[in-house]
Amino acid sequence: MSILEVKNLSFSYTGQTVLKNINFKITEGNYIALLGPNGSGKTTLIKILLGLLQSQKGKIILFGSALKKFNAWQNIGYLEQKANTPHNMPLTAFGVVRLGLLSTKKGLKLFNKEDNKKTDAIMKKLHCYSYKDKLFSELSGGQQQRVLLARTLINEPKFLILDEPSTALDSSSREEFFEIISALNEENKTTILLVTHDISQVGKYVNKFLILDKQIVFYGSKEDFCNSAEVTEYFGPYTQHLIDHLHTTGTCPLPHNHGHNCGHNHGGEML
């Protein structure tokens, strides 16, 4: 089943072209790492897919419907890069998670017992139940991120879009965070589009790479990407560095062709 199709998409902020002729398709069950240097248009692309920004050119199809007609938003979970959290509102962690249910409510209905049960359940699953009654604004960055993930997952979305979700997490929370996400992909077949710079931690879970630098530099399977070192000159320094990094961290299996430098230590620098 096709989850998302993007056709001939281009976008400019006043005067500055940020995305040029983007074409790709995501089918059900894939776990895709969306990678690219800072400013390469990743967040902009995501906002366009969700109808939060309007592109000047191109077509977007979500779950088989044109974006303009699409209304099953409860099927999509989105964790923003700079989460639009109610910092000024005195909401508890529980209150923030429960807000995730709003997209399923028609009109101004109040939350009921069932909603509270659902909220408790997802908070237990994501290990943030112990601070459910604390004010969201008083939680640590990592705790807030867990609460926001719980809010994103409460409707059990079929398509999950995460924009640099691990930035506020320490390295052990990061590992746990990515394990939770990958379990959703493995067990529930949740389709995932993940923007991250933690590719050494997450590379083992994803099955596709989408590399963006205003245009699509690469879109395909992890194996094809790992074996494409020969053409990295065309890819540019970001992608060259990424491939080297994937080899040194063991995310990419050593290719059959040993003609290039993989396997050697290129510094193992974090991307």
C-beta of 176: minimal distance to ligand ADP in Å?
25
Q: How many residues line the site for ligand ADP (CB under 6 A)?
A: 10
Q: Which does 39 bind (CB under 5 to 8 A by kind): ligand ADP, Mg ion, none?
A: ligand ADP
Q: Which does 145 bind (CB under 5 to 8 A by kind): Mg ion, ligand ADP, none?
A: none
C-beta of 238: minimal distance to ligand ADP in Å?
11
Which tokens hold the place of 205? 């879970």
Q: Are 6 and 49 within 8 A, CB to CB?
A: yes
How far is 250 from 176, CA to CA, in rounded Å? 19
Q: Which does 85 bind (CB under 5 to 8 A by kind): ligand ADP, Mg ion, none?
A: none
Q: Residue 173: CB partners within 8 Å, gap ≥ 6?
A: 142, 146
CB of 81 or CB of 249, closer to Mg ion: 81
Residues paired with 211 in a beta bridge:
35, 218
Site membership for ligand ADP, residue 165 (CB under 6 A): no
Site membership for ligand ADP, residue 40 (CB under 6 A): yes
Site membership for ligand ADP, residue 44 (CB under 6 A): yes
How far is 252 from 226, CA to CA, in rounded Å? 6
CB of 34 or CB of 93, closer to ligand ADP: 34
C-beta of 164: minimal distance to Mg ion in Å?
6
Q: Are 155 and 74 within 8 A, CB to CB?
A: yes
Q: What does the binding site for Mg ion look like in residue numbers (CB under 5 A)?
A: 42-43, 81
Site membership for ligand ADP, residue 95 (CB under 6 A): no
> Which residue minimizes CB distance to Mg ion?
43
CB of 197 or CB of 266, closer to Mg ion: 197
**Residues of this chain, 128-157, that bind ligand ADP according to CB under 6 A:** none
Could you say which of 38, 71, 88, 265 contacts ligand ADP (CB under 6 A)? 38
Q: Residue 119: CB partners within 8 Å, gap ≥ 6?
A: 94, 97, 98, 101, 154
CA atoms within 13 A on the CB side of 28: 9
Q: Which does 33 bind (CB under 5 to 8 A by kind): ligand ADP, Mg ion, none?
A: none
Q: Residue 20: CB partners within 8 Å, gap ≥ 6?
A: 10, 214, 215
| Cα-based distances in Å from 168 to 35, 81, 256 | 18, 10, 38
Site membership for ligand ADP, residue 39 (CB under 6 A): yes
Q: Are 170 and 87 within 8 A, CB to CB?
A: no
Residues that bind ligand ADP (CB under 6 A): 13, 18, 36, 38-44
